[in-house]
Amino acid sequence: MKSRTVRLDIDLDVVTVGARSGLLWSRSGDGDPVSALAGVGESLRLPAQRPGGGTAAQAALARLEGPNEVTGVGTGPVAFGAFAFDPNLPGELIVPEIVVGRGTDGRRWITMVDDGSLTVADAIERVVDLAQSVDPAVVTAQPSAFELQSVLPPEIWRDEVVAAGRDRITAGELDKVVLARELVLATDEPIDVAAVIARLAATFPAAIVFSVDGFIGASPELLVARHGDVVRAHPLAGTASRASNPAVDRGLAAGLLASAKDRWEHRITIEWLLDGLLPFCSYVDAEPEPSIVSLANVHHLGTRVEGRLSSPPASALELAGALHPTPAVGGDPQDRALALIDELERTDRGRYAGPVGWVDAEGNGAFAVGIRSAQFDLASGSAGDASASVANTVRLFAGVGVVADSDPESELAETRSKFGAMLGALIRP
């Protein structure tokens, strides 16, 4: 198999294509040359070893390179990946049969990875059909009944998970642990996953909107992006709810920025990430002070990190493997935090808070932290297949950073705010 990349001169909504096909990455701003990538069909899957940097998978992707009249980041063969939170679990990359891309400069392109039998005209027809299609199953029946269950009763999670984690921290075992809570949503009729993605994109325009193998979300947090020898990250840690009253909302944001507890929690993540990037870089630095990142449902503390990679530059896949899980989703020290998560949470996070993103044959790419996300139990089909666009069961997670002065009731309230991002897109009157 080889790839072929040509310019795409038609005005096509890449996000709609990826929302319907099930393979999507969409991100705007922050110097990213690629604003959206959508995959259609499935050419092959590449095993990506973990722990480690996926060296064999990256090499296999590079062997698929072929004629490319566009060139640049995100052109040529591209693979999508959504990895488990547990860094010891194996992963894989999905190489679509067709990838359609849009650059921040307005360029569009289409890449085919096959045996040469797929014509450019046929590939364009397939993506145009997806951009214009409506799933008949969704038109004829939509959910009218929703059942939302907490895997652990909220008071049990508060008292036996969060409070227990805080007590272990005050006893000196570790400095921070991130503990997650799980909800399961079941519906009487299938949910249109593409419609949910469209709502997320509209509600959270600054977020990274993704869809890989039924794992979808609108993450505010960039784990790592690599374009040539430039590496960027935008870690978040520290959260406050939002308010409908503008004056109250500004007060909540100011309180977050002034919070000693949240700033200390944030500093742990920044220092850890800088230490993780330094072995790969000739230069790396972070903004001197965090700033407020405001989403529709919550405020976060965020700090931008940027550096120059040493030659030869590590791939985005390798960097994601080295940086995940950060203290923002695991804790500190990492080994003790991960062990405590296994002990206390009583659930399997799956892909929640794992790396999700894309990589091209040159090692360019970007991975988000898979938060503000949901895992759909797809009714049928596979990644890159429009038939896999409806589901009746969804798993959702929300996590909180627990430190010595955490209040379990406040942490429970924080999960409710974070769940609002996905629930607002899933449940419609």
Q: Name the token pair of 384.
A: 């890159």
Catalytic residue among 97, 176, 182, 265: 176
Closest CA to 410 of 422, 419, 401: 401
- Judge whether 351 and 86 are in contact, CB under 8 Å: no
Question: What span, in angstroms and rounded, lies between the C-alpha atoms of 60 and 361?
Answer: 9
Burial zone of 210 (CB within 10 Å; 0-12 exposed, 13-18 middle, 19+ buried) = buried
- Judge whether 367 and 212 are in contact, CB under 8 Å: no
Catalytic residue among 42, 221, 345, 362: 221
- Helices (runs of H) and strands (runs of E) counted in the chain: 12, 24
Q: Would residue 155 show up in a list of annotated catalytic residues for this protein?
A: no
Task: Output Rg (C-alpha) for the chain, integer angstroms.
Answer: 21
Question: What span, in angstroms and rounded, lies between the C-alpha atoms of 323 and 173?
Answer: 23
Closest CA to 37 of 100, 81, 88: 100
Q: Would residue 221 show up in a list of annotated catalytic residues for this protein?
A: yes
Strand partners of residue 180: 399
Q: Which residues of 50-61 are buried (b: 16+ CB within 10 A; e: fewer)?
A: beebbeebbebb
Tokens 């120059």 correspond to what residue? Answer: 308
The phi and psi torsions of 272 (rounded to 5 degrees) equal -65, -45
Query: Is the bond preceding 327 in cis, omega lying within 30 degrees of 0?
Result: no
Amino acid at 333: P
Burial zone of 385 (CB within 10 Å; 0-12 exposed, 13-18 middle, 19+ buried) = middle
Residue-level length of the chain: 429
Question: What span, in angstroms and rounded, lies between the C-alpha atoms of 358 and 76?
Answer: 12
Q: Name the token pair of 395.
A: 């798993």
The phi and psi torsions of 8 (rounded to 5 degrees) equal -115, 115
Active site residues: 176, 221
